[in-house]
Amino acid sequence: MNRALYAAATGMAAQQKNLEIVADNLANADVAGFKGAAETFTDIASRAGTLGTAAAGTHVMFTQGKLERSGGPFDLAIQGAGFFAVADGAGRLAFTRNGEFSRASDGSLRNAQGRRLLGTRIPADAISVNVASGGAVTAQTATGEKKCGRIRLAEFASPEYLESAGGTLFFETNASGKARFVDPGKRGGPELKFGMLERSNVTIVEAMMQILAAQRAYEANAKGVQAADEMMRIADNLSRD
Amino acid sequence: MDGIAWAASAMSAAQTRLEIAAQNLANGSADGFRRSLARGSLHAEGVRVDVVRDDTQGALRRTGRALDRAIVGEGSFLLRGADGRTARARSGAFTRDRFGALRDDLGRTLVGTSLSRGSYVRSGFLESSNVDAVGEMVNVLEAERSFEAAQKVLSAIDQTAQRANSKMSEFK
């Protein structure tokens, strides 16, 4: 009976984990460049007699989100593989698909967390800025066009092993391999789209369905716990009749 | 046969049924999981429940991850663990490590697939478990009720024996 109780309890824990992941997907469904995740579970039944299930891993779905014209003066989107490389104050690199940048007072392009996009600095006298699909950044100034750097994209041998830093940020790990910087706009490679943002790849309807299914599964497992408990009570009463 | 032993065997059978249903329910979200069925039978020594694996195909679901694999038809993925042993599995949520090998979530390396004639592998899909949650809930309730019923039988036999004993002592 305790085996059944334990198995049902692991089922409840699994669905709880499932709900957390889907809730996170849903919460970030409107965040540009966000990548939804899914949890996988595995049977832990063994010859020793344990029953139940366990969370085995979280998989971030690095599928392309839809590109949308956004109107932000420094918005960028990636069509294809790769990440923007952004550095914090200490120079530590993080990687993101979120291309919502704004110009800081020092001319660098920074994301919402204040991390600096590598490769470009906009001169103070720039009237307008353009980024070509190949990553070359040019600024129109009163005295003519000025080149101001090139945005390169980071690619990884196995992006699935990047460490999620919450939201749209990722850190490289040993398992993901080192970031390899590539010029966008090459044949067959990723392209930069200026003035556009990549929507998250989370489908709200699908996430809602997953939440409903996880809730029902949670309840079903709770029923299992209840039944195991009730049967223990009955067995316990045997000795008192 | 002895009524008490018979009722006890019915109770332990109900317990096994509950364990099977709980195990199935718990693994409802485990991809590639195959549910177990309880097969009850009557024997001279009482009720016995055997566990039979139900190998019907689970539903395929599109995930959009290129490294997700599902087998349509009979067959399994061959996975080599860190201990060098090869195991078989139906779940195909792989990741590519930086050396190019495909690994599952338990860190085992995909070394091949063993497919029956007519079976094939689909990329971008996972095979959901073949657990039917509603059916398992019914099994849970059934196990609980049959446990209760067997316990009532057991108590009734016990009370009858008790009464017989006290009658016997009146004649002494």
Model confidence pLDDT, tens digit, residues A143-186: 899 999 999 999 998 898 999 988 899 999 998 999 999 999 99
Contacts of A24 (CB under 8 A, 6+ apart): A37
pLDDT digit string, tens, across residues A73-128: 999 999 999 999 999 999 999 999 999 999 999 999 999 999 999 999 999 889 99
Q: Do A45 and B23 count as a contact with CB atoms less than 8 A apart? A: yes
Of B14, B19, B105, the CB nearest to A7: B19
ipTM of the complex: 0.85
Structure tokens at A60: 């971030």
For residue A82, the one-letter residue type is G
Q: Do B95 and A158 touch (CB under 8 A)?
A: yes
Look at residue A239 in the predicted model and tell me its pLDDT: 67
CA distance B43 to chain A (A): 23
As a whole number of angstroms, the distance between CA B91 and CA A43 comes to 10
What type of residue is A45?
Answer: A
| Residue A117 tokens, joined | 């996009």
**Contact B54/B20 with Cβ under 8 angstroms?**
no
CA–CA separation, A80 vs A191, rounded Å? 7
Model confidence at A1, in pLDDT bands (50, 70, 90)?
Answer: low
The pLDDT of residue A10 is 95
Could you tell me if A167 and A25 are in contact, meaning their C-beta atoms sit under 8 angstroms apart? no
How far apart are the C-alpha atoms of A130 and A137, rounded to whole Å?
6
Nearest CA among B51, B137, B124 for reference residue B94: B124
Per the CB < 8 Å rule, is B22 touching A176?
no
pLDDT band at A240 (very low <50, low <70, confident <90, very high): low
Task: Check if B33 contacts A (Cβ < 8 Å).
Answer: yes
Return the pLDDT at A49: 80
Residue B98: per-residue pLDDT:
83
- pLDDT of B21-42, one tens digit each? 999 999 999 999 999 999 999 9
Residue B49, CA distances (Å) to A3, A88, A143, A173 in order: 16, 62, 88, 49
Mutation pick from A10, A160, A174 vs chain B, by most beta carbons of B within 10 Å, is: A160
Q: Name chain B contacts of A39, Cβ cutoff 8 Å.
A: 29
Contacts of B64 in chain A (CB under 8 A): 61, 63, 201
Query: What are residue A191's DSSP bridge partners?
Result: A79
Is the Cβ of B145 closer than 8 Å to some Cβ of chain A?
no
Which residues, given as ranges, of chain B have pLDDT below 50? none
Q: Tell me how far apart the terminal alpha carbons of chain A are, to the nearest angstrom.
A: 20
Percent of chain A surpassing pLDDT 90: 81
**Could you say which DSSP state residue B93 is in?**
B
Tell me the average pLDDT across A37-52.
88
What is the pTM for the complete model shown? 0.86
pLDDT one-digit tens code per residue, A186-236 = 988 999 999 999 999 999 999 999 999 999 999 999 999 999 999 999 988
Q: What is the pLDDT of residue B172?
A: 63
